Amino acid sequence: MTELVELQHWRCPWCGDYLPDSPRGTAIDHIIPRIYGGPHRRWNLQLLHQECNSAKGKKITAEALELADAHDVTISMDIGQYRAAVRRRAAKYAVRATRQLDREARDRALATARNLTVFFPEATVNAVIRAAAEGTGPEGREARQAARGEPIPEQRCTGTPASPKPNGNTGCPDDRPGRRG
What does the pLDDT average to over 144-157? 49
**pLDDT attached to residue 178:** 43
What percent of the chain clears pLDDT 70, i.e. is strictly above it?
70
Contacts of residue 176, defined as CB under 8 A and 6 or more positions apart, other chains included, come to 65, 69, 169
Residue-wise pLDDT for 60-97, tens only, equals 888 888 888 899 888 877 767 777 777 888 888 888 88
Is 2-70 in CATH node 1.10.30.50?
yes
Closest to 144 in 3D by CA, of 33, 56, 123, 136: 136
Segment 54-59 mean pLDDT: 88
Residue 145 has pLDDT above 80, yes or no: no
The CATH 1.10.30.50 domain(s) of the chain lie at 2-70
pLDDT digits (tens, 9 = 90+) for 103-140: 888 888 888 887 776 666 667 777 888 888 888 765 55
CA dihedral 50, 3, 18, 124 (to 10 degrees): -70
Phi, psi of 172 (to 5 degrees): -80, 145
d(CA 117, CA 125): 11
Q: What is the pLDDT of residue 43?
A: 93
What does the mean pLDDT of the chain come to?
Answer: 75
Cα–Cα distance between 133 and 105 in angstroms, integer?
4
Contacts 24+ apart (CB under 8 A), 46-52: 46/4, 46/8, 46/13, 47/1, 47/4, 47/5, 47/8, 47/12, 47/19, 48/12, 48/13, 48/14, 49/12, 49/14, 49/15, 49/17, 49/19, 49/25, 50/25, 50/26, 52/12, 52/14, 52/15
